Amino acid sequence: MNDLPRRAVTRTAKLATLPIGLAGRTALGFGKRIGGRPAEIVAGEIQQRTAEQIFRVLGELKGGAMKLGQALSIFEAALPPEIAGPYRATLTKLQESAPPLPARTVHRVLAGDFGEDWRDRFTDFDDQPAAAASIGQVHKAIWYDGREVAVKIQYPGAGKALISDFTQLSRAGRLFGILMPGLDVKPLLDELRNRVAEELDYHLEATSQQAFADAYAGDPDIYVPNVVTATDHVLITEWMDGTPLSKIISDGSREDRDRAGILLVRFLFSGPARAGLLHADPHPGNFRLLDDGRLGVLDFGAVDRLPDGFPPFIGKLLRIIHEDGEIGEVEQELRLQGFLKEGIEVDLDALRTFLGPLAEPSSVESFKFSREWLRDEAARVTDLRPSNITRRFNVPPSYVLIHRVSTAGIGVLCQLECEGPFRAEVIKWMPGYETGTG
């Protein structure tokens, strides 16, 4: 981990370049406007350069800032593909190339949390990590009772780096307001900081994972491994084999891709109703297609607590759009929930045109997700021109993780290019759809 710029002064200096860069671009833009260039073109250039710098700097900082960058996908969703694409590629590359912790460091963490006799808990422990992530890595082992287990070990110092990065970035919050003027940035960043910090708490993750495991115990379609034990820096769960979803995406049969897609939707939408929780990190690395056809689920560090299920507002909104209902009612609901801030005006016809395609996958009996459909939607939604209605929307803090799941989940479905009866799956688990209450 020596190549990680973890020293506070280095990381702070890198993050400090963000507001400095903005000031320079704003001054440059003012000069161009004096020179006669149209204000909209200049504003667009400033937004694009700001976005490029935000994600380049976050991409350079592994560990905490990389996890932060993943959490900021709500901003990424507002960016054009030529910016967001390279950023996602950078995150993937960094994650895959993160050097593993030396065995002696792994042993030191285990000894610190379990005592010097930590080996007595295992009959075998593989020093080579089976997987690596942004704040920890996973080792395969055999527990003393003979069970195969996954041992997730948090990188030393990851917590301090993460919190430090977020504190520094919060000072540059107005950068994101430039990208999305309708966004109330400060409470959003506060919520993101709290949620990302939760991912460091392995006791909390263990509780969440076991709640899912209990809720889906014996389920014919979904499997969640049981938790064995957890400490401050180590989480041990039952091992799960299976074909990673990334492999299904690249090499899977049409049947496997369709099955994986419908089970992914079933799991994400049923979680709040069955477990009171929403799995909030739906990327291909967290899912396996098991030999018996079930969808296996991993990594419960990021969850949204929804004890009453999804907010009925979402179901009501879908129903109105599906039935081509009164668009003024939709606008009123969006304002009541905080998606449109006071003083932000929207054209109702433009609002209907914008929302319709978003509800398309759940408006027909069977829908086929595709990369082409996603590209068209991305081009429409991420247009940075001031006239684009997307830029007028706010993301209320309570919807941060729901938004993250919807954008990331749709991305995975389009990678799978799966087809199926998604409408029935969504409506089954969505409060407020049938009654229109909320």
Closest by Cα among 311, 363, 344, 352 to 328: 352
pLDDT of residue 77: 43
Instruction: Identify the residue whose tokens are 């704003």.
Output: 26
Decide if 428 is inside a domain: yes
Instruction: Identify the residue whose tokens are 């527990």.
Output: 143
Decide if 159 is inside a domain: no
CA 213 to chain centre: 21
Decide if 228 is inside a domain: no
Handedness of CA 290, 294, 300, 303 (dihedral sign): positive
Q: Which pair of tokens denotes residue 245?
A: 């979803």
Closest by Cα among 327, 319, 377, 329 to 352: 327
pLDDT of residue 181: 63
Contacts of 382 (CB under 8 A, 6+ apart): 77, 78, 79, 80, 81, 84, 390
Beta bridge partners of 143: 122
Distance, CA of 397 to CA of 91 (rounded, Å): 24
Decide if 152 is inside a domain: no
DSSP secondary structure string for all residues of 153-211 = EEPTTHHHHHHHHHHHHHTTTHHHHHH-TT--HHHHHHHHHHHHHHTT-HHHHHHHHHH
The three-class DSSP label of residue 235 is strand
Decide if 363 is inside a domain: yes
Decide if 226 is inside a domain: no
Torsion angles phi and psi, residue 347, rounded to 5: -80, 125
Number of H helices, E strands in the chain: 18, 14
By DSSP bridging, strand 295-297 and strand 222-223 are parallel
pLDDT of residue 347: 87
pLDDT of residue 374: 83
Closest by Cα among 61, 88, 143 to 407: 88
Residues in the chain: 438
Distance, CA of 169 to CA of 193 (rounded, Å): 10
Q: Which pair of tokens denotes residue 144?
A: 């003393």
pLDDT of residue 266: 97
CB 48 within 8 A of CB 80: yes
E strand or H helix at 131: strand 131-132
Torsion angles phi and psi, residue 359, rounded to 5: -95, 0
Closest by Cα among 272, 299, 275 to 286: 299
Farthest CA pair distance, the chain: 76
E strand or H helix at 288: strand 287-289
pLDDT of residue 81: 55
Domains held by the chain: number: 1
Decide if 300 is inside a domain: yes
Interior angle at CA 11, CA 6 and CA 12, nearest 5: 140
Closest by Cα among 225, 221, 236 to 289: 221
DSSP state of 396: -
Interior angle at CA 34, CA 30 and CA 38, nearest 5: 85
Beta bridge partners of 304: 278
DSSP secondary structure string for all residues of 371-388 = HHHHHHHHHHHS--STT-
Domain that holds residue 427: 241-438
Distance, CA of 417 to CA of 373 (rounded, Å): 10
Decide if 6 is inside a domain: no
Please give the chain's pLDDT, 438 residues, in tens: 444 444 444 544 554 554 444 444 333 433 333 344 444 444 455 455 655 666 555 545 544 455 555 545 444 444 455 555 555 555 445 444 456 788 999 999 999 999 999 999 999 999 999 987 667 899 999 999 999 999 999 988 877 767 776 666 666 565 556 555 666 777 777 777 787 778 889 999 999 999 999 999 999 999 999 999 999 999 999 999 999 998 999 899 999 999 999 999 999 999 999 999 999 988 888 999 999 999 999 999 989 999 999 999 999 999 999 988 888 989 999 999 999 988 888 888 888 888 887 889 999 999 999 988 887 887 777 665 666 777 788 888 888 889 888 888 988 899 899 999 999 999 999 998 886 444
Interior angle at CA 62, CA 60 and CA 67, nearest 5: 115
DSSP state of 91: H
Dihedral, 65, 92, 182, 386 alpha carbons, nearest 10: 130
pLDDT of residue 36: 42
